[in-house]
């Protein structure tokens, strides 16, 4: 992975065959699923938790001073 690419190089480097192969036993419930399913799941989780963090940030900013 090249510096400054945030990990996307690893997924890009998998190619079509790598994304189609099963994840393997290290991934628990995703063991038989194609790697693409795991990549999409991780992406959704990152978006979900990022949205939660942004919500908490916005709620905190909206509080009156000293609250």
Backbone angles phi, psi at 34, to 5 degrees: -65, 150
Give phi and psi for 22, each to the nearest 5: -65, 150
Identify the band that residue 7 occupies on the pLDDT scale cut at 50, 70 and 90.
low
Q: Note whether 39 and 19 are within 8 A (CB).
A: yes
Count CB neighbours of 55 within 10 A.
10
pLDDT digit string (tens) for 16-65?
A: 999 999 999 999 988 999 999 999 999 999 999 999 999 999 999 988 87
């Amino acid at each position: 992975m090249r510096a400054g690419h945030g990990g996307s190089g690893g997924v890009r480097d998998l190619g079509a065959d790598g994304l189609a192969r099963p994840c393997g036993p290290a991934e628990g419930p995703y063991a038989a699923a194609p790697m693409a399913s795991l990549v999409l799941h991780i992406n959704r989780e990152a978006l979900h938790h990022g949205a939660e963090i942004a919500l908490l940030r916005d709620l905190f900013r909206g509080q009156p001073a000293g609250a």
